[in-house]
Chains A and B, each alone.
Chain A
Amino acid sequence: SQQGEEDPQALSIQEGENATMNCSYKTSINNLQWYRQNSGRGLVHLILIRSNEREKHSGRLRVTLDTSKKSSSLLITASRAADTASYFCASRFNTDKLIFGTGTRLQVFP
């Protein structure tokens, strides 16, 4: 079973717009990560946020974490066509298995 549920399942925007994806998880975590997957390929790590952090930035990415609501969000600002991909959250407690969410398919139109 999957730990994370992501919302929305699919998102279509124009280049230059911002894209926001949300992730909810079920159990306690030490950290939450976001990954990107281009069609049918391996996943690429984007950013990791620890349970004692509330917000983290990396380039055009901003991730927030609310442990009281067991939720996280990923914001991609000024989207580009190259951002078209599926985005997954993944959470883990200590050395337990890393569990991935259901993913959000992002389509950015030029």
Chain B
Amino acid sequence: KAGVTQTPRYLIKTRGQQVTLSCSPISGHRSVSWYQQTPGQGLQFLFEYFSETQRNKGNFPGRFSGRQFSNSRSEMNVSTLELGDSALYLCASSLGGVPDTQYFGPGTRLTVL
């Protein structure tokens, strides 16, 4: 099976712009989670989608949003970018049961100038 893929791998934006990141989960996985990783804050949970519904949400401002499509692919959007949004954004997919193992993609490195 193909692993989790994320596009694009690298992105440079300027403050005030918006960005959309994409994640394709492993075939058959119904849960997709997003994480932000920075040197200062570590791995922070953004949100989790399961069968197109947001199941969990982290403590991020409303500028961060996401969605999941019927084929389980997911996108996350960040509007009005700030310098502090520079980070590695990781997507993980799983079957969605309890317990479940998360399978991570390589991440999208976002730099905001």
Q: How large is the interface on B (under 10, 10 to 19, 20 to 34, 35 or more residues)?
A: 20 to 34
Given contacts A50-B99, A102-B42, contact A97 B56 (CB under 8 A): yes
B33 contacts A42, CB within 8 Å? no
State whether A92 and B99 are in contact (beta carbons under 8 Å apart), knowing that A42-B105, A103-B42 are contacts in the complex.
yes
When the two chains form their complex, are residues A30 and B99 in contact, meaning their CB atoms are under 8 A apart? yes
Interface string of B91-102 (1 = CB under 8 A from A): 010001011011
Chain B residues 18-68 with CB under 8 Å of chain A are: 33, 35, 42-45, 48, 50, 55-59
A54-91 contacts to B, CB under 8 A, are 88, 90
User: Which DSSP category, helix, strand, loop or mixed, fits chain B's interface?
Assistant: strand
Contact yes or no, A88 B43, CB < 8 A: yes
List chain A residues, Cβ under 8 A from B90: 42-43
Q: Chain A contact residues (Cβ within 8 angstroms of B): what range?
A: 20 to 34
Contact of A30 among B98, B103, B104 (CB under 8 A): B98
Residues of chain B within 8 A (CB-CB) of A45 are 101-103
CB of B4 closer than 8 Å to a CB of A: yes
Residues on A facing B (Cβ under 8 Å):
1-2, 30-31, 33, 35, 40-45, 48, 50, 88, 90, 92, 94-100, 102-103
